[in-house]
Amino acid sequence: MSVRRIDPKPPLHPLAIDAGSDDFLRGDPLDGKRYYSREFMQREWDDMWTKVWHIAGRVTQLREAGDYIVHDFMHESVIVVMHEDGSLRAFYNVCGHRGQRLAWGDGHQPSFTCPYHGWVWGTDGELRQVPDPDDFPQGNPCGKVRLVELPVDTWAGFIWYSMDPGAPTLAEFLHPWPELYRNHATEDMVRVVWLQVDLETNWKFAPDNFSESYHVRTAHPQVPAVIDQDHYNCRNEVYPSGHNRIMQLVRPSLRDRIPDGQPHPFDAQLRQWNIDPDRYPDYETKVEQGWRDLAEAKVRLGPSQGHPHYAQLTEQDFLYSPHDQLFPNVSVDIRPDAVSLFRTEPHPTDPQRCTFDLWCLSVPVVGADTVRTIAGRRPLAEAAFEHRVFDQGRGLPELAGTVIFQDMQLAEGQQRGQRSRGYQEPYLAGQETRVRAWHETLNDYLEGRR
Ligand code: FES
Ligand SMILES: [Fe+2]
């Protein structure tokens, strides 16, 4: 068998800028202050967080009228509720009488009764009823006062809202993401891991970390056996919207090899799809041709092997493993069978702390009652919310050794270095270009260029 050696890189998307080098950037400095200064944190709030779209939760959390989610973000809190007509409505979690918080966690209520003076708010934000309506010299507040409403929309089974009444639509904000992943069954996925971890680091650790794969060979030595992240084989893209992604190859790296004679996960994958790993004359051919054979087999056989949604997918969807950084703080791996979402949000007052969300979503496989995730094997059922404190890893022992745990371990060390007088302007590799691009988008927000 002979194989024609062809460039494995996916083509550059027509809307994307090739981020294999930094020619398109201004070269804004990446000063350490942005990771610990309260003044910088305030600018982020004023000019960025209040302008972008945020994820409140999953659409599946709101099944009937009166179901609601509370999303606390820094000092702010937003309620997203399903109204009687089935539409989703988002409101600041603030009573229109004298500002009392209306709800403290997700739940179900046909209307919101304020615990202070008993004003009753409908799920459309209208004031339904107040005690002593005749005692208002300026007139009954019903029909005059309502909850302050925010734009809300959905994509990929996530509920998004913005605090900016003049925000671009969600479709405009995300463009072209809905188009990039239109074939994926993201809306039907089940959230099998729903974890939030307190971390002692600035929230920007995550977008920095998820905007480069340069650290993978060092920090995650288990990865090259399953994903080829070698920079000369991958495609780095930055989009005019400020979002970015890397397209990596779903095959082993050719340079970081498992020693011959040891079981290889790629052989097991090939066998699972009726491909004999011994049919290839050498390791290189197995990786290069087997990679394409595997994608072809999944598209052809998937629908009859418990994966009906593969009928909507193409070989391209199985060849590449995208890792996306949606500006500012949502990192997602959207794959045919699963979505992994990583998100950091700032602490309300301390720029050196944040929360890290890990959500693992899976497409149900016919006949399976558990699924494999990046946080281990889990029951195929909607997970309950879990909150932990990382505590240098002690708070999350069951994830020790996983990629996500390794990233969290690095986060706290990075923060200490960025706070130091010894911190220097980063010296970035070409494959780290998306890091600076991300910061230049942030600067665009802060300096009024967006
Ligand atoms: S503050 Fe809500 S009823 Fe008074
Ligand atoms: Fe990592």
Which atom of ligand 1 sits closest to the CA of residue 114? 2
| 189 CB burial (10 A radius; 0-12, 13-18, 19+) | buried
| Residue ID of nearest Cα to ligand 1 atom 4 | 117
pLDDT tens figures, 285-296: 999 999 999 999
Average pLDDT over residues 332-345: 97
The best mutation among 117, 129, 132, 148 to test binding of ligand 1, ranked by most ligand atoms within 8 Å of the C-beta, falls on: 117
Query: The whole model's pTM is what?
Result: 0.96
Token pair, residue 234, equals 């991958």
- The CATH number of 51-162 is 2.102.10.10
19 pLDDT more than 60: yes
Q: For residues 213 and 38, give the distance between their C-alpha atoms in angstroms, rounded to a whole number.
A: 29
Distance 214 CA to ligand 2 centre (A): 9
| Residue ID of nearest Cα to ligand 1 atom 1 | 98
Cβ atoms of residues 268 and 243 within 8 Å: no
Look at residues 307, 327, 329 and name the one whose alpha carbon lies nearest to residue 318: 307
The best mutation among 94, 119, 135, 146 to test binding of ligand 1, ranked by most ligand atoms within 8 Å of the C-beta, falls on: 119
Token pair, residue 188, equals 């039907």
Radius of gyration of the chain (CA): 24
Distance 27 CA to ligand 2 centre (A): 24
Distance 134 CA to ligand 1 centre (A): 16
Residue 355 β-bridge partners? 198, 345
The best mutation among 91, 93, 94, 97 to test binding of ligand 1, ranked by most ligand atoms within 8 Å of the C-beta, falls on: 97
Identity (one letter) of the amino acid at 134? Answer: D
The best mutation among 98, 111, 113 to test binding of ligand 1, ranked by most ligand atoms within 8 Å of the C-beta, falls on: 98
Distance 113 CA to ligand 1 centre (A): 9
Distance 96 CA to ligand 1 centre (A): 7
> Other CB atoms closer than 10 Å to residue 364's CB: what's the count?
19
Q: For residues 261 and 214, give the distance between their C-alpha atoms in angstroms, rounded to a whole number.
A: 28
Cβ atoms of residues 131 and 118 within 8 Å: yes
- In order of 88, 321, 388, 415, the CA distances from 409 in angstroms are 38, 24, 14, 11
Mean pLDDT, the chain, rounded, equals 96
Cβ atoms of residues 273 and 300 within 8 Å: no
Average pLDDT over residues 62-79: 98
Domain definitions of the chain by residue range: 17-30+185-260+299-446, 51-162
7 pLDDT more than 90: no
450 pLDDT more than 60: yes
Residue with tokens 């300096």: 447
- Position 38 scores a pLDDT of 98
- The CATH number of 17-30+185-260+299-446 is 3.90.380.10
Phi, psi angle pair for 272, to nearest 5°: -60, -25
Q: Quick one: which ligand is closest to 215's CA?
A: 2
Cβ atoms of residues 96 and 120 within 8 Å: no
pLDDT tens figures, 82-134: 999 999 999 999 999 999 999 999 999 999 999 999 999 999 999 999 999 99
- Position 5 scores a pLDDT of 64
My answer on whether omega of the bond before 397 falls inside 30° of 0, hence cis, is: no
Provide the 3-class DSSP secondary structure of residue 315: helix
* Confidence tier at 2 by pLDDT (50, 70, 90): low
Distance 130 CA to ligand 1 centre (A): 9
406 pLDDT more than 60: yes
Which atom of ligand 1 sits closest to the CA of residue 95? 2
Q: Which residues line the pocket of ligand 1, CB cutoff 6 A? A: 95, 97-98, 100, 114, 116-119
Alpha-carbon dihedral of residues 80, 85, 87, 90, nearest 10 degrees?
-30
59 pLDDT more than 80: yes
Cβ atoms of residues 361 and 351 within 8 Å: no
The distance in angstroms from the start CA to the end CA of the chain is 54
pLDDT tens figures, 264-318: 999 999 999 999 999 999 999 999 999 999 999 999 999 999 999 999 999 999 9
Average pLDDT over residues 349-378: 95
Distance 277 CA to ligand 2 centre (A): 29
Task: Give the orientation angle of helix 265-272 with respect to helix 283-301, to 10 degrees.
Answer: 40
Q: What is the chain's length?
A: 450
Identity (one letter) of the amino acid at 317? Answer: D
- In order of 251, 301, 305, the CA distances from 274 in angstroms are 17, 10, 12
Distance 112 CA to ligand 1 centre (A): 11
Look at residues 72, 92, 68 and name the one whose alpha carbon lies nearest to residue 80: 68
437 pLDDT more than 70: yes
Contacts of 172 (CB under 8 A, 6+ apart): none
- In order of 81, 180, 433, 441, the CA distances from 15 in angstroms are 35, 11, 17, 17
pLDDT tens figures, 223-248: 999 999 999 999 999 999 999 999 99
